[in-house]
Amino acid sequence: MTTTRAEPQPADFADVRTTNLAVVLRHLRAHGPSSRAAIAASTGLTKATVSSLTADLIDHRLLRESGPSGNRIGRPATVLALDGSAYASIGLQIFAGQVTALAVDYSGDQLLLWHRALSAKRPTSEIISLAQRAASRVRQQGRHVLGLTVALPNTFPRTGLREQVSGSLRQKDLVVSVAEHAALAAVAEQRHGGHAGADLAYVSGAAGLEAGLIIDGHLLRGGRLGRFKLGPAGTPTLEDQAGIEPLLRRALPDFDPEALADAGPAVEQVAIRARVGDTVTLAALKHTGGYLGQGLAVLTDLVGPEVIVLGDHFATLAPWLIPALNLSGPPVTASTLGLHAAALGGALSHLDQVDTGRIPRPVG
């Protein structure tokens, strides 16, 4: 998912084949089921090469032959389609007082979505336990687990977590990674959120105020929007002005800070009050939106995204926040991915491995 820039490696014929496997897979992902002749015509590969590549992909259970294609005179050509059944990957996230596990297969179909209440006492063992159970279930379904990513807010302690999760899963070629919540949500947004290929910023209120930034196809480190501060000593941070918790305190006179483990219901409460025109709530949303707009202007000046996506809690409140942003920059939209975007992004990020043509042997 993140690109490392090592010394260039010499190319050989295995590289050529890997590249061409990737070309065939991406053609089918982009254009849907196609005949071998159509793949050859569109990619510039010879028919013989396409036959050999697709035989290999069928053997790996990444393609299957389906019915003949229409619009054809004479003998119908067999159509090849992506087959997601052999490979899967898993994303976990810690958000809203829960640990969530989500698995997708190679064709992007969701295999499972589990939520478990997270106790403050033993979060690491709960993450490990859910990771183990999700991996077992996916394997029972006859799928090879390519990877597992744990999405964490910046505030969550992560020392040794990757190694502990990896050790508990007992599968050598299963890649385990740990990454930022907002960054992984941005990955999901770019793949499944209707912004494929766009440079985007995903704004998350999951832990303070963070942004996931994908620029030129690269996920940037950083995105710590909430810590912005420009002014004399004692100036509040952007999170103080535009974060979800300060908004709840301003908007809900009876706000209970104990409820912050899962801010979701309180955020819904704000939306309900705003809908009926509660003036205190509307003023709080205007305050939040105004400062959020200033932060997003800074972000836009600095990295120039093509679209800004308000995620999770901010998506719920987007009808009131967007008009208050006062932003002369890229379009701002509300995410439609809901509250488990980071888990989805974590799972999706492992499927890139297959798309590059480096294909492990499937199980079974």
What single-letter amino acid sits at 277?
Answer: G
| Sites for a copy of itself among residues 42-81 (CB under 8 A) | 43-45
- 14 forms beta bridges with none
Instruction: Tell me the closest approach of the beta carbon of residue 165 to a copy of itself, in angstroms.
Output: 25
Q: Which of 211, 251, 309, 321 binds a copy of itself (CB under 8 A)?
A: 211
3-state helix, strand, coil in the chain (%, to 5): 45, 20, 35
Q: Is 155 in the site for a copy of itself (CB under 8 A)?
A: no
What are the start-end ranges of the H helices in 317-356? Answer: 318-325, 341-348, 352-355
Tokens of 12: 């050989």
Residue (216 or 256) nearer to a copy of itself, CB: 216
DSSP string computed for 297-326: HHHHHHH--SEEEE-HHHHHTHHHHHHHH-
Q: Is 228 in the site for a copy of itself (CB under 8 A)?
A: yes
Give 141's contacts (C-beta < 8 A, 6+ positions apart): 88, 111
Instruction: Tell me the closest approach of the beta carbon of residue 259 to a copy of itself, in angstroms.
Output: 28
Classify burial at 331, counting beta carbons within 10 Å of its beta carbon; exposed 0-12, middle 13-18, buried 19 or more.
Answer: exposed
Instruction: Tell me the closest approach of the beta carbon of residue 332 to a copy of itself, in angstroms.
Output: 17
Long-range contacts of 261-267 (CB under 8 A, 24+ apart): 261/96, 261/97, 261/120, 262/96, 262/97, 262/98, 263/96, 263/205, 263/313, 264/96, 264/313, 264/339, 267/313, 267/316, 267/317
* Choices 87-95, 222-230, 259-267, 272-280 (CB under 8 A): range interacting with a copy of itself: 222-230
Instruction: Tell me the closest approach of the beta carbon of residue 349 to a copy of itself, in angstroms.
Output: 15
User: In a 3-state reduction of DSSP, which class is residue 269?
Assistant: helix
| Sites for a copy of itself among residues 301-320 (CB under 8 A) | 301-304
Q: Is 275 in the site for a copy of itself (CB under 8 A)?
A: no
User: In a 3-state reduction of DSSP, which class is residue 4?
Assistant: coil
Contact yes or no for 146/360 (Cβ under 8 A): yes
| Sites for a copy of itself among residues 181-200 (CB under 8 A) | 197
Q: Which of 70, 74, 157, 231 binds a copy of itself (CB under 8 A)?
A: 231
Q: Is 238 in the site for a copy of itself (CB under 8 A)?
A: yes
Instruction: Tell me the closest approach of the beta carbon of residue 20 to a copy of itself, in angstroms.
Output: 5
* Choices 2-10, 110-118, 176-184, 263-271 (CB under 8 A): range interacting with a copy of itself: 2-10
* Choices 6-14, 278-286, 317-325, 343-351 (CB under 8 A): range interacting with a copy of itself: 6-14
Instruction: Tell me the closest approach of the beta carbon of residue 8 to a copy of itself, in angstroms.
Output: 5
Question: Backbone dihedral region of 144: left (phi > 0), alpha (psi from -120 to 50 degrees) or beta?
Answer: beta
Q: Is 251 in the site for a copy of itself (CB under 8 A)?
A: no
Q: Is 5 in the site for a copy of itself (CB under 8 A)?
A: yes
Contact yes or no for 150/342 (Cβ under 8 A): no
| Interaction site with a copy of itself (CB under 8 A) | 2-3, 5, 7-13, 15-16, 19-20, 22-23, 26, 30, 43-45, 197, 211, 213, 215-218, 220-225, 227-231, 235, 238, 291, 294-295, 297-304
